Structure formats: C-alpha cells, structure tokens
Structure 1
Amino acid sequence: MSGEPNSGIISPVRRIGRREFDFDRQVAIMAIVNRTPNSFHDQGLTYELDQAVAAATRAVADGADWVDIGGFAFSAAQAGIGVSEEIDRVAPAIARVRAATDAVISVDTHRPEVARAAVEAGADVINDTNGLREPGMAEVAAALGVGVIVTHSLGGPGRRVFRPSYGDVVSEVAGFLRERVAYALAAGVAPDKIIIDPGHDLNKNTFHSLELTRRLEEITAIGYPTLVALSNKDFIGETIDRPQGERKEGTIAVNVVSVLKGARILRVHDVAATVASVRMIEAVLGWRGPVSPNHNLA
C-alpha cells in the first residue's frame, strides 16, 4: 500500500467545525462520551455531567480530534426517554466541552429536535445511527449546514431486531448507505458534509461484522469518508473470547485493518492507544514523518 493520496474520497480536505482534515493523508480519532446509564462499555461511567465533560477534555488531551456525545444508547434493552430528557443530557455537556476545546463535537442522536438543540449548544456534526430515517432529520442537517454521519442499521436506536439476517451483508449495507446519502443530498445536505458508517454490530452478528471489516473497501468505494465504530464491540469479544474490559488489542487490530482498507475516522474508547497506533500507520504509509527521528543512528 503506497503513501499516495486516495483521490476516490469525495472532498477529502474538509473543514469540520474549527478543525481541518485531509482524509487522503490523515485518520481522525473520535472519542466516545455517553451520558447514558447503560452504555455497553463503560456502564454509565460518564453519565453524570461533570464526569462526561472531564472524559471529553481528557480525550482531547490524549490526542482525540473529535468528541462524540450521546444521550440515548442504541440498545433495545433500555427504557425509552423523551426528547426533552435527551436534550437535557447532551446539550449542557456539549456547551461545556465547546467552551473548553476547538475539537470537533458530534451529537449521537436520531431525533431532529435533539440535533437542533445540540448544534445550538455547539455541536458541529450530527451522528445518526438511524440513517436519517426520522422525518425531518436530513432537513435539519441541511438547514443548519452541519456535517452528518449516515449509519446503517436495520431497526435503529432502541428497536429490537431478532436474529438479523442478510443475503450479502456488505452489498446490502452499501446499498442502504447509497440510498440514504442520495436522500440526504436531495434534502439539501452538501456532499462535503457527508460521512458514512457501515454500523458494525448494529443489528449484525459477529460473522456480519467480520465480513464488513474484511470487505470494507466496498463501503469506502462509495466515496464519502468512512467512519468505523468498532471499539470493544461484541464481535471482537466473541472472535477472541474476551470480556468487555479486555478487548483493547482486538480493537486496535480491527482498527488498523480498517484504516488500511480505507476508513478515515475511528470512533473509540481508548484514545491514547488508538492515537499511537494511527500515527504509526500514517508514518508507514508515508503520510507523516517520525515525530522525533534520531539522525545520529549509524
């Protein structure tokens, strides 16, 4: 794999919020901050506002380019919450993080009312695991002029899907993403505001997520910068037989594979370890030089 730029990415050089990225030669690190009592990895560790803000600022200090703040988990195993409660969870956190950093901030929500409130509080991007299927979401993103992450899932947040099945998971996910991107463009979202995410483990079993990773080039070929959210997910745990708290090495491995196959944004829990691995990938590919080369080595 060479260090030559990948000209297949649509608008690879992008201004997102207050930062600029060149996705031909750069991988962005997105830190996960969930203001939910039932997040699958940290089990509510950042549910309280002060803990959420501290986690976000710590992630940026560790090298994160981006912080993703959510107030409603994807899992169906949770009590539903209203729009106002979700806003109360995300908007204050976004406002405080915005005041503390110039890093990109996204809101993880599928509700247009929450998205609008989050952007008003300082968010730069809407991260929608429902693929813009909620009426009005694409129009809100277009009207506000913010970025949008279009993610594949069968049921969307909070909806149970029993035994999800696919004829060909990769082609079906790619088809869904192409259709939802076309929908976003028709609603007025600019092409340089769109990012796609195949939604590993979102209504998918371990074999589906492994296949998506193995054939990720078919997703990145759609052309928009591709985000992968693999961190500590169950497909990693089932593949290497590791419990939730022991999946860091597996996460780094699938993230590295994904970058080599074209992913350009990694959504992660362990920021420092991911930053180190990504900086190494970028150097090997010729996208950056060593940070502190020793020119005196024989």
Structure 2
Amino acid sequence: MLSFGTFQFALSRPLVMGIVNVTPDSFSDGGRLGQSAIDHAHRLIEEGADIIDIGGESTRPGAVPVSIEDELSRVIPVIEALPGIPVSIDTFKPDVMRAAILAGAQMVNDIDALQNPLAMQIVAASNVAVCLMHKRGVPQTMQMQPEYEDVVAEVSAFLRERVMAARAAGIAQDRIVVDPGFGFGKTLAHNLALLRELHRFAALGVPVLAGLSRKSMLGSLTGQDAMSRMPASVAAAIIAVQRGAAIVRVHDVRATVDALKILNAINGGCNE
C-alpha cells in the first residue's frame, strides 16, 4: 500500500507516473508551459496515467538553475488546475514543496532525497508521499566521470540511509518511495547494472520508482534522439517492472499502459 496524500494505491499492479515538464528546456519535451501543460496533464490521465509528476526546473545534465519565483510561477497554476488528480511535485526546493503541497500536490519527488533539513520537516509535517532519489553531484556536473566501486551496493546503501532518516523524522513507511536515479551521476554501465539488479532494492521495504523514459542511456544503446526513444522507453519500463519496479515514470503513457496490460495479463494480474 502506498499512502499518497488523500489517495491510497494498493500496488496490485504497476503504477504509471506521467511526466509534465513545465519548463522551456527539458531534454525531451521542453516548452510545456501554462495551459498547454494543464491540457497535457489531462491527456495523460485519459491515456491511463495514475499519477502526474509536475516539474518546473529541468534537472537534465548541464541544466541551468531557475529561481524559486520562476519555478513557483510555472508549477503552482498547473497543480491548482488539477483538483482530484494524484499530483507529484518534482522539486528539491523546500519553498516550492511547501507551496505545492498547499496547492494540492500529494507527493514530493525530490532528487535530493530530503537531505535538506527544511525539506524533511515540510514533508514530515504533511500527509504527502515522498520519492527519495539517489544522485551524485549536481545537474551541472553530475555526468563528469562518475565513479563507483559497486554502484548497486552504494546506491542501495544511500537509499537505505535516507529511508531510515525519513522514518526517524516521522514519515510513515507507507508514504515512502525510492528511486535509484538512472542518469543522475551514472555512466551507461552504471545504469545498466542498476536496471539489471533492480530487484535488490526490494530489500529496502518500500516501492521502487524507475525513471528511464527517453534518457540518454537509451539513446546510447539505440542511436535515437530523445523524441525517437519511445520504443526503447517502453521496453525499459517493462524490464524495470519485471525486476521489481512498482512505479514507472514515463513520457509515453498510452504506449506504456498498453504494454503493461499485456505483461499483467501474462502474469495473471489485474489491469483495473
């Protein structure tokens, strides 16, 4: 069971989180601003998304930071326009977290894994869910020769520590999700190792989110640019689910939902 603010997800099947980037510079679909972002969110729900993940600042490698004011002006109107829809706010800024929760967000998706004490305090004082992600470095530099002795063990240890910190702060275990952070301070080999061994993260006792959609690792493997990586993204999502992911964060919702229906049927699961 995942407690997602006022929503409850039984996790009897994989959940699909649809991406809405309210930014001009996202690596894949930058430019979804204002009403177009709201329309896009509704379209993703119609296509079968369980959750909408709204971000107002690109965290792609080399991304330029934006001010709190700019981020708020991008995301808050979109969140407020989606009442009754399970919404996640993709941010690492405590001020944005607080405002987004007040506007109706039901999850905080934090690439910094609540390492900011104020972020931890804000989430702990609410009833929202949280996704704790692993990354190494900052978006501007994280892909500059990242190194690990054992990437799976090191990422797992970090996430275990963050889950324990969240629990100690008063965040119930059924509100916590972890994300190994594909592409955030990892080489292609690191990403493949994490995907190959994704089942090992089940030992953390919380749902695992996999965000592989349209990422550069898929471009490295297929030679396709970001907008042509839908088939590879769907394949990666299916592999992630087969290896234990409870949530997949994707751009191509309809294609992913259809593929998961086939997988669930083969496995004897429920598509409702």
Do they fold alike, i.e. is TM over 0.5?
A: yes
- Alignment match, 1:115: 97
Question: Are residues 26 and 110 of structure 1, via their aligned partners in 2, closer, same or farther at CA, if it must alter by over 3 Å?
Answer: same
Read off the aligned partner of 2:159 and give its amino acid letter. L
Deviates more, 1:145-154 or 1:213-222: 213-222
- Alignment match, 1:127: 109
Q: Does 1:38 align with 2:25?
A: yes
Contact 1:110 1:128 (C-alpha < 8 Å) held by counterparts: yes
Q: 1:63-142, aligned counterparts within 5 Å?
A: 63-98=48-83, 102-142=84-124
Question: Are residues 146 and 183 of structure 1, via their aligned partners in 2, closer, same or farther at CA, if it must alter by over 3 Å?
Answer: same
Question: Are residues 191 and 201 of structure 1, via their aligned partners in 2, closer, same or farther at CA, if it must alter by over 3 Å?
Answer: same
Alignment partner of 2:185: what SS? coil
Question: Are residues 106 and 275 of structure 1, via their aligned partners in 2, closer, same or farther at CA, if it must alter by over 3 Å?
Answer: same
Per the TM alignment, residue 45 of structure 1 is displaced from its structure 2 partner at its CA by 2.9
Instruction: Give aligned pairs, total.
Output: 272
Deviates more, 1:279-288 or 1:163-172: 279-288
Per the TM alignment, residue 281 of structure 1 is displaced from its structure 2 partner at its CA by 1.4
Read off the aligned partner of 2:19 and give its amino acid letter. I
Contact 1:130 1:156 (C-alpha < 8 Å) held by counterparts: no
Q: Does 1:241 align with 2:223?
A: yes
Read off the aligned partner of 2:43 and give its amino acid letter. R
- Amino-acid identity (%): 38
Residues 213-241 of structure 1: CA distance to partner in whole angstroms, max 9, x if unpaired? 00101112212000000001111110122
Alignment partner of 2:18: what SS? strand
Read off the aligned partner of 1:14 and give its amino acid letter. L
- Alignment match, 1:189: 171
Q: Superposition RMSD on alpha carbons, in Å?
A: 1.6
Using the alignment, how far apart are the partners of 2:242 and 2:63 within structure 1? Answer: 36
Contact 2:143 2:187 (C-alpha < 8 Å) held by counterparts: no
- Alignment match, 2:213: 231
Using the alignment, how far apart are the partners of 1:114 and 1:157 within structure 2? Answer: 18
Per the TM alignment, residue 35 of structure 1 is displaced from its structure 2 partner at its CA by 1.0
Read off the aligned partner of 2:59 and give its amino acid letter. F
- Alignment match, 1:21: 9
Question: Are residues 224 and 18 of structure 1, via their aligned partners in 2, closer, same or farther at CA, if it must alter by over 3 Å?
Answer: same
Contact 2:199 2:243 (C-alpha < 8 Å) held by counterparts: yes
Using the alignment, how far apart are the partners of 1:283 and 1:17 within structure 2? Answer: 29
Using the alignment, how far apart are the partners of 1:34 and 1:243 within structure 2? Answer: 18
Structure 2's unaligned 5+ residue stretches are none
Larger radius of gyration: 1
Q: Does 1:276 align with 2:251?
A: no
Question: Are residues 157 and 148 of structure 1, via their aligned partners in 2, closer, same or farther at CA, if it must alter by over 3 Å?
Answer: farther
Using the alignment, how far apart are the partners of 2:264 and 2:6 within structure 1? Answer: 22
Residues 162-204 of structure 1: CA distance to partner in whole angstroms, max 9, x if unpaired? 2111111111100010011111111111111100000001111
Per the TM alignment, residue 103 of structure 1 is displaced from its structure 2 partner at its CA by 2.7
Residues 70-95 of structure 1: CA distance to partner in whole angstroms, max 9, x if unpaired? 11111352332222221111111100
Per the TM alignment, residue 125 of structure 1 is displaced from its structure 2 partner at its CA by 0.2
What TM-score does the superposition give when structure 1 sets the normalisation length?
0.87
Contact 2:63 2:139 (C-alpha < 8 Å) held by counterparts: no
Q: 1:172-183, aligned counterparts within 5 Å?
A: 172-183=154-165
Q: 1:201-280, aligned counterparts within 5 Å?
A: 201-280=183-262
Contact 1:230 1:255 (C-alpha < 8 Å) held by counterparts: yes
Using the alignment, how far apart are the partners of 1:200 and 1:170 within structure 2? Answer: 11
- Alignment match, 2:145: 163
Using the alignment, how far apart are the partners of 2:3 and 2:144 within structure 1? Answer: 40
Read off the aligned partner of 1:45 and give its amino acid letter. G
- Alignment match, 2:39: 54
Alignment partner of 2:174: what SS? helix
Per the TM alignment, residue 161 of structure 1 is displaced from its structure 2 partner at its CA by 4.9
Structure 1's unaligned 5+ residue stretches are 1-12, 292-298
Alignment partner of 2:72: what SS? helix
Per the TM alignment, residue 15 of structure 1 is displaced from its structure 2 partner at its CA by 3.9
Read off the aligned partner of 1:72 and give its amino acid letter. E
